[in-house]
Amino acid sequence: MAGSQEPTGGVATGIGRTALMVAAARAIETHRPDSLAQDCYAEHFVRAAGVCAGWPVRPEDVPGGDANPLWGRLGRYFGLRTRVFDDFLRRAARGGARQIVVLGAGLDTRAYRLEWPTGCVVFLLDRAPVLDFSRSVLASVGAVTPTPCRWIAADLRDQAWPGALAAAGFDASAPSAWLAEGLLLYLPAEAETRLMSTVDLLAAPGSVLAYEVKLGLESPAVRDSPVYTTTKEQIGIDLLALFDRQPRPDTLAALIARGWFATGHSPFEFTRLHRRGPEPEHPDALAANRWVFAAKPPAGHR
């Protein structure tokens, strides 16, 4: 693997660089003795990107350990989020969904590292530079997916991606499982509304959806929280500058109005469930985060 090469285009800067941050967090989580999620490919993404030189990929590399607001607290958040959404997709596949759609896939490796029932197809949608980098790194380490994987270059802010998804073999008449992990926070409100409306149109009865949102805008105190300031200081990523600042739409309520069953959960609920993960603090950059799980009832359900 050419570890000295710089990733292309959007992977090196802006929102794409946050995918590398999450990959580093997943690598650290993988090597924890109490790991919640295993991603043996994550550290290879970090090492392949020159912009990440010096970033930790193991717990012993983290300055200050779990007290580090970035690689400790936020890193454990990403580890917990990975586990919770892994479990969601596993349940969906066991429940009969054979089409797995990952929106804003970034450096997602679930097609490679999770066990999938026979007949599953994983669709990964993101911008071309991100997907190209991901595919090249995975190929360089000989990664093989146990189930068909379709890579779809698309800008989810426009309206052309459903056609690309269909061209890749997606069947809108069959149940599907959808995941938008770490995506909606960065989209303008109008784009979020349009994206979720499109998912509703494409998701057949019996489909499920999970996504992450942030409720409202951060207060000045939260904007000064160590999670944000340390991330900017240590790796030069200003998360607050990347988050869209428009008032957020109530996507959960919109799904319920369309007939979905949907519930929103604080990440701290899953910290208590797994007895690992970030605990609440004050001021808290994670307190407004919600993980939403939704299901479109099967045909004929009342």
283: pLDDT confidence band, cut at 50, 70 and 90? confident
By the 8 A CB rule, do 150 and 125 touch? no
Distance (Å) of CA 239 to CA 30, 82, 217, 243? 24, 19, 13, 6
CB atoms within 10 A of CB 56: 22
pLDDT at 245: 84
Does the pLDDT of residue 4 top 60, yes or no? Answer: no
Nearest to 266 by CA among 241, 251, 287: 287
Interval 75-82 mean pLDDT: 98
**pLDDT surpasses 70 at 130:** yes
DSSP string, 231-242: HHHHH---HHHH
pLDDT average, residue stretch 265-288: 95
Residue 231 scores a pLDDT above 60: yes
Q: How confident is the model at residue 8 (pLDDT cuts 50, 70, 90)?
A: very low
168-189 residue pLDDT tens:
999 999 999 999 999 999 999 9
pLDDT recorded at residue 1: 29
- Alpha helices, DSSP H, located in the chain: 14-30, 42-48, 75-94, 110-113, 128-140, 161-167, 189-202, 220-223, 226-235, 239-242, 251-257, 267-274
Full-model pTM: 0.94
Q: Domains plus CATH for the chain?
A: 79-231+242-295 (3.40.50.150)
Average pLDDT, whole number, for the chain? 92
State yes or no: cis peptide before 7, omega within 30 of 0: no
Give the pLDDT score at 217: 76
Q: CA 299, CA 119: separation in Å to the nearest integer?
A: 22
Is residue 29 within 8 Å of 71, Cβ to Cβ?
no
CB atoms within 10 A of CB 94: 9
Task: Give the model's confidence band at 301: pLDDT under 50 very low, under 70 low, under 90 confident, else very high.
Answer: low
**Cβ–Cβ under 8 Å, residues 116 and 93:** yes
13 pLDDT band, cuts 50/70/90, is low
Are the C-beta atoms of 298 and 205 separated by less than 8 Å? yes
Predicted pLDDT at 3:
33
Average pLDDT for residues 206-222, to the nearest whole number? 92
Region of poorest pLDDT, from 79-83, 96-100, 237-241: 237-241
- Helix (H), strand (E) counts: the chain: 12, 7
Q: What angle do CA 188, 193, 198 make, to 5 degrees?
A: 125
Segment 230-237 shows an average pLDDT of 95
29-58 mean pLDDT? 95
